[in-house]
Amino acid sequence: MKNWDSLDEHGVCTADKDCEDAYRVCQILDIPFHQVSYVKEYWNDVFTDFLNEYEKGRTPNPDIICNKHIKFSCFFHYALDNLGADAVATGHYARTSLEDEEVFQQKHIKRPEGLFRNRFEIRNVVKLLQAADSFKDQTFFLSQVSQDALRRTIFPLGGLTKDFVKKIAAENRLHHVLQKKESMGICFVGKRNFEHFILQYLQPQPGKFISIEDNKVLGTHKGWFLYTLGQRAKISGLREPWFVVEKDGTKGDVFVAPRTDHPALYRDLLRTNRVHWIAEEPPSALVRDKMMECHFRFFHQMALVPCVLTLNQDGTVWLTAVRAVRALTPGQFAVFYKGDECLGSGKILRVGPSAYTLQKGQGKAGGAPEGSGSIPGDGPSLRPSL
């Protein structure tokens, strides 16, 4: 599957290298090789969203969006409809509540149309479960995938550890893929400087770096959208590290604090867009009580944090974490868990003020910088009514 047309710094297309590696695997295993291009779909559904989010000052997660729109939609339907596949297998470290045999039988189960479809869906629900190797678990990236796709997908690595998978690969003469480095970061940026990359697509919007502690101007930058809450801000002429704690989209200013664990970085309240629930839409406990205890994370491999969800009428949720979390980031996905089940996720649209800014009086009505995804308010009254 090729999703991006680009050359790296040495004029080599990494997608071509991946294609070559996949072709060699197919040769060794003696299975047919098919290639599909979703460059146009990726641009429209993933990359355009990525740029739109940055322009709004949010920090998107293109991996989650790619799985939703490309891998488990375009690619999934191509495999089933064009190739006539019984199921799709992916290398994600994840599991579902279906045995492989049950997945293969789905092809032959007649699904009702119209009125009774919803009852059928509820009765034959598939749960997304964390992998046996909890460190490698990738349910985070699958938290927006549909029931239809999960019902026809198998995850052969779900019960295995990475080391064991490498052992199997070595025994099957797949040494050329064993030597590959793990792909990290955003595929279409690669090793390029992120600021240079994004400024090829978005207009620079010069602004100031301002200390959250005394409002002193510390330097200038090329665009408030280039910065993510919690990241180190490279400020010309300053040797000690400063970290982004707030962004003001109307003025284009970025507020910074002098420590990576500065209290202005910690928040315990957020609001999502309409949540995508994987198995139950929404969970019955949440519908019944309008509240539900569970755990969440907003980046891969982050330790799960206990929280309380409050359901809004429009399908969005308020999330209150039991403890303040560093750098809650608008644009990222809050992914919900109960036990080893991944319940689904919602994009973080707004975050509450930190206790630090409330104490300083910047959390007063209208005080939180606009466009940062911060929720202006006067402290407790902005809490969802529990």
Task: State pLDDT tens for residues 19-29.
Answer: 999 999 999 99
- Mean pLDDT over 261-272 rounds to 98
Q: Which of 13, 26, 187, 307 is catalytic?
A: 187
Under DSSP, is residue 277 helix (H, G, I), strand (E, B) or coil?
Answer: strand
Confirm whether pTM is higher than 0.85.
yes
Catalytic residue among 66, 74, 294, 342: 66
pLDDT tens-place string over residues 78-102: 999 999 999 999 999 999 999 999 9
Task: Say how many domains are in the chain.
Answer: 3
Residue 13 is a catalytic residue: no
The full DSSP string for 65-130 is HHIIIIIIIIIHHIIIIIS--S-EE---SEEESS-HHHHHHGGG-----GGGHHHHHHHT---EEE
* Radius of gyration of the chain measured on its C-alpha atoms: 23
Evaluate whether residue 63 is within a structural domain: yes
Known active-site residue 74: no
pLDDT value of position 187: 72
Do 124 and 232 lie in one domain? The reply is no
Query: For residue 238, what are the domain limits?
Result: 204-258
> 351 - beta bridge partners?
270, 374
Report the C-alpha gap between 161 and 177 in whole angstroms: 17
What is the CATH number for 77?
3.40.50.620
Task: Please check whether residues 39 and 162 belong to one and the same domain.
Answer: yes
Judged on CB neighbours under 10 Å (0-12, 13-18, 19+), 96 is buried
- 207-211 vs 253-257, strand pairing mode: parallel
Tell me what pLDDT residue 112 has.
66
pLDDT at 380: 39
Residues 128 and 243 in one domain: no
Do 274 and 328 share a structural domain? yes
Shared-domain flag, residues 319 and 226: no
CATH of the domain at 323: 2.40.30.10
